[in-house]
């Protein structure tokens, strides 16, 4: 067991030969807002990073409006996200950090809330509501 300066328990570094370790969170939400969608996840991973002797949270990517990103009109956004992921990987390896701009880039859904709502409503109507959607899900 290991204690930090404030007396909180930490996970001791079990693999010091690997050097300092970092992790990245990449999460999606169907809605176009970061607020009220990712707070629990943010807190969990920030606390996880603070409870390890030699591990830290390097970055958080919160992809909004993921529900509509499969539509052909959002191909540019999908390509941008792919490019951001590649750039992020390179930065981690080459610089040991991630630029804030990269993390923020995926949060911009590039669609207004009104357009998002209209497209989401059209999607659900095309499925005849939940009944059609749920009929395709295997029963356990």
Look up residue 36 and give its two tokens: 């009220």
Residue 111 Cα distances to 36, 66, 87, 106, 108, angstroms: 18, 11, 24, 12, 8
- Mean pLDDT (the chain) is 83
The domain ranges of the chain are: 2-109
H or E segment to which residue 39 belongs? helix 39-50
Q: Is the pTM of this model over 0.85?
A: no
| pLDDT higher than threshold 80 for residue 82 | yes
Question: Sorting pLDDT into bands at 50, 70 and 90, what band is 128?
Answer: low
Mean pLDDT of 76-91: 94
Helix spans in 51-140 (H): 75-95, 100-105, 113-126, 129-135
pLDDT given for residue 129 in this prediction: 58
pLDDT given for residue 98 in this prediction: 94
Residues recorded for the chain? 140
pLDDT tens per residue across span 16-59: 787 778 889 999 988 888 888 888 888 888 877 666 777 788 99
pLDDT tens per residue across span 94-110: 998 999 999 999 888 88
For 53: left if phi > 0, alpha if psi spans -120 to 50, otherwise beta; the answer is alpha
């Amino acid at each position: 067991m290991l204690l930090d300066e404030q007396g909180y328990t930490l996970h001791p570094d079990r693999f010091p030969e690997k050097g300092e370790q970092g992790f990245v969170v990449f999460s999606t939400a169907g809605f176009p807002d970061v607020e009220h969608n990712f707070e629990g996840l943010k807190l969990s991973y920030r606390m996880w990073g603070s409870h390890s002797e030699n591990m830290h949270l390097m970055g958080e990517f919160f992809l909004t409006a993921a529900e509509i990103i499969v539509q052909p009109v959002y191909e540019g956004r999908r390509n941008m996200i792919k490019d951001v992921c590649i750039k992020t990987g390179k930065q981690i390896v080459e610089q040991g950090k991630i630029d804030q701009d990269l993390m923020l880039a995926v949060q911009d859904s590039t669609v207004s809330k009104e357009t998002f709502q209209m497209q989401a409503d059209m999607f659900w109507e095309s499925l005849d509501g939940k009944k059609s959607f749920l009929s395709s899900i295997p029963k356990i």
